[in-house]
């Protein structure tokens, strides 16, 4: 369940800078993923693949033999003929902490991004705090470690410490803006736990590569160890994609969740 904390605000010019009652902050443990537009279907894969062997076909022609279509998509996935999976598009609106986006933008091939700008708009006081399902403690050395459950005391401490830090940072941000400091300068005091938002556009091939690295799954041939917060985004994107391209999604899982 998402966490939420807020307090009523007052007009900034009349506030006491030492008071915690002078503005509202929201603490959230959930990320947001919305599929805002798409042109993506299993038929896109079939069109692209069959033009190289039998020429252009109509959708009706391809639909006459669904088992053959399923087999072709599985063959392409299994033997890693990847380009037919690029002839589609999905645009997601994603809301997540800034540290998630810094990881997200490691994925460059087949992706396009537009993120909200702290230069041109005042950033809103929405911050990330993990809920009690988030494992807090890292055990082991780099390259060979696991995360284990935190104690109730650790979770309480994390929530209190994060809220205190976020509140102080956002108070300072507001003071700088009130003093006439430019938004692009004042934003430097804000932490990476601040929520940002972006449009992310990809195709099925680039999304599969993202999911192979940023999610853990029992069917995966290659193990992955993603940070939980970016995995939460990946899981929500995967849920939407599975509905659009069920044959492609099934083949992805059947072949070890390795991008072709």
Kind and range of the H or E element at 141? strand 137-141
Q: Are strands 26-28 and 195-202 parallel, antiparallel or unpaired?
A: unpaired
Task: Please say if 119 is a catalytic residue.
Answer: no
Contact 116, 207 (CB under 8 A): no
Mutual orientation of helices 204-214 and 228-244 as an angle, nearest 10°? 140
Instruction: Catalytic residue, from 28, 167, 187, 214: name it.
Output: 214
- Alpha carbons within 13 A on the beta-carbon side of 193: 21
256: phi then psi, degrees, rounded to nearest 5 = 80, 15
SS3 at position 16: coil
Positions marked active-site: 214
């Amino acid at each position: 369940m998402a966490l939420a904390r807020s307090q009523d605000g007052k007009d900034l010019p009349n506030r006491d800078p030492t008071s915690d009652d002078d503005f509202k902050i929201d603490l959230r443990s959930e990320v947001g993923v919305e599929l805002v537009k798409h042109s993506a279907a299993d038929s896109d894969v079939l069109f692209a693949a069959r033009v190289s062997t039998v020429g252009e076909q109509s959708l009706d022609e391809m639909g006459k033999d669904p088992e053959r279509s399923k087999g072709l998509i599985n063959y392409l996935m299994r033997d890693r003929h990847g380009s037919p999976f690029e002839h589609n598009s999905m645009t997601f609106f994603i809301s997540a902490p800034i540290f998630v986006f810094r990881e997200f933008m490691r994925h460059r091939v087949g992706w396009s991004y537009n993120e909200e700008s702290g230069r041109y708009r005042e950033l809103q006081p929405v911050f990330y705090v993990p809920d009690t399902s988030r494992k807090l403690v890292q055990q082991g050395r780099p390259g060979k470690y696991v995360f284990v459950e935190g104690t109730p005391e650790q979770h309480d401490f994390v929530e209190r410490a994060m809220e205190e830090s976020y509140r102080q940072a956002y108070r300072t941000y507001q003071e700088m803006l009130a003093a006439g400091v430019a938004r692009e300068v004042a934003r430097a005091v804000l932490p990476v736990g601040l929520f940002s938002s972006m449009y992310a556009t990809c195709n099925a091939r680039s999304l599969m590569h993202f999911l192979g690295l940023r999610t853990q799954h029992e069917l995966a041939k290659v193990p992955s160890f993603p940070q939980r917060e970016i995995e939460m985004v990946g899981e929500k994107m995967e849920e939407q994609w599975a509905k659009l391209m069920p044959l492609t999604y099934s083949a992805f899982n059947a072949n070890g969740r390795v991008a072709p």
